[in-house]
């Protein structure tokens, strides 16, 4: 009894400590082309495209950071943020939706992003919901000869994953289909799937060329070669894990085999450790 109470208290404590202190977060940015920037802070990378009349954001990190994000955008352009496009539903990419909508932005995302927000156990402010949804593709024309192509891809990280491609600038934001140089999170509870991830990354490799700047959901701006390296890791791990599974190994046994050992030091030190990437693949590979 006493032990279980102590355990409960410890859990509550760790939940409280898990509440992040955003006051220390600094927003920085990198200029990719004349009209496209990427912003870093806490959570998913933010794409910024500057059109003729307006600024367009791809994702918006966490709600407490909105003021800092907007202030940083204003150092890059005086145009108002009229559009926010989400790569998927997770709170580290959509947490600023409500604030930005209240400030006059239109929130746009795949229809499954809205659906998952509507059905979430922890309700969000209605203002966070996308007010324009699409089910496959959509193009935005920025009035300066530039465009943003939204492409819904196979369920991979979640079932609302969208790539935003800027053909005139040769830039693509891949959301959390790309964790550059690290193991990806596959949110199986939100429709995530390793096979979808591998097919989406392969598809992206057919769109990009050696000059394309790739914005990953997490990590630095990357190249086609970086994306190839990431795909190689996923494909090799999938092969090894499905082989072990086919031989009848349990998940726990598979996790003890050291199947990812050559990348664990570089890729497995962050949010997703070696056991978790093995688990995602074990549970979701066909």
Name the site residues for Zn ion (rule: CB under 5 A). Answer: 90, 176
**Smallest gap, in angstroms, from Cβ of residue 161 to Zn ion?**
9
Question: What residues form DSSP beta bridges with 133?
Answer: 109
Contact indicator for 144, 129 with CB cutoff of 8 Å: no
**Smallest gap, in angstroms, from Cβ of residue 189 to Zn ion?**
12
Nearer to Zn ion, 39 or 54 (CB): 39
**Smallest gap, in angstroms, from Cβ of residue 54 to Zn ion?**
26
Nearer to Zn ion, 90 or 182 (CB): 90
**Smallest gap, in angstroms, from Cβ of residue 147 to Zn ion?**
25
Nearer to Zn ion, 60 or 176 (CB): 176
DSSP 69-128: HHHHHHHH--S-EEEEE-SSS-HHHHTTHHHHHHTTPEEEEEHHHHHHHHH-SS---GGG
Enter the DSSP assignment of 173: E
Nearer to Zn ion, 160 or 274 (CB): 160
Q: Closest Cα partner for 47 from 175, 158, 205?
A: 175
- What is the layout of strands, in order, in the sheet containing 36-40? 28-31, 36-40, 46-50, 55-58, 81-85, 106-110, 132-134
Contacts of 77 (CB under 8 A, 6+ apart): 48, 50, 55
**Smallest gap, in angstroms, from Cβ of residue 56 to Zn ion?**
20
Nearer to Zn ion, 169 or 187 (CB): 187
**Smallest gap, in angstroms, from Cβ of residue 198 to Zn ion?**
17
Nearer to Zn ion, 51 or 196 (CB): 196
Nearer to Zn ion, 37 or 90 (CB): 90
Nearer to Zn ion, 142 or 214 (CB): 214
- From CA 10, how far away is CA 4, in angstroms rounded? 10
- From CA 84, how far away is CA 34, in angstroms rounded? 20
- From CA 282, how far away is CA 143, in angstroms rounded? 46
Element housing 166 (H / E):
strand 162-166
**Smallest gap, in angstroms, from Cβ of residue 40 to Zn ion?**
16
Contact indicator for 36, 144 with CB cutoff of 8 Å: no
Residue 200 has φ and ψ, to the nearest 5°, of -65, -40
**Smallest gap, in angstroms, from Cβ of residue 179 to Zn ion?**
9
């Amino acid at each position: 009894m006493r032990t279980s109470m102590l355990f409960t208290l410890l859990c509550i404590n760790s939940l409280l400590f898990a509440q992040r202190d955003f006051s220390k977060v600094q927003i920085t940015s990198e200029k990719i082309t004349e009209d496209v920037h990427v912003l870093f802070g806490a959570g998913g990378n933010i794409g910024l495209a500057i059109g003729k009349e307006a600024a367009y954001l791809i994702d918006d990190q966490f709600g407490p950071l909105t003021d800092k994000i907007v202030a940083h955008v204003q150092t890059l352009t005086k145009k108002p943020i009229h559009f926010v496009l989400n790569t998927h539903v997770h709170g580290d990419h959509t947490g600023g939706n409500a604030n930005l909508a209240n400030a006059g932005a239109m929130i746009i995302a795949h229809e499954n992003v809205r659906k998952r927000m509507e059905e979430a156990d922890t309700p969000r402010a209605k203002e966070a919901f996308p007010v324009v949804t699409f089910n496959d593709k959509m193009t935005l024309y920025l009035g300066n000869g530039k465009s943003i192509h939204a492409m819904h891809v196979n369920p991979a990280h979640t079932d609302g994953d969208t790539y935003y491609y800027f053909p005139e600038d040769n830039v693509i934001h891949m959301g959390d289909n790309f964790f550059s140089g690290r193991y990806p999170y596959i949110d199986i509870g939100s429709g995530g799937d390793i096979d979808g991830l591998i097919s989406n990354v392969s598809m992206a490799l057919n769109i990009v060329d050696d000059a394309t700047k790739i914005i990953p959901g997490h990590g630095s701006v990357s190249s086609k070669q970086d994306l190839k390296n990431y795909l190689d890791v996923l494909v090799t791990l999938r092969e090894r894990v499905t082989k072990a599974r086919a031989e009848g190994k349990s998940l726990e046994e598979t996790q003890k085999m050291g199947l990812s050992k050559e990348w664990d030091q570089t890729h497995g030190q962050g949010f997703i450790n070696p056991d978790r990437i093995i688990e995602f693949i074990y549970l979701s590979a066909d």
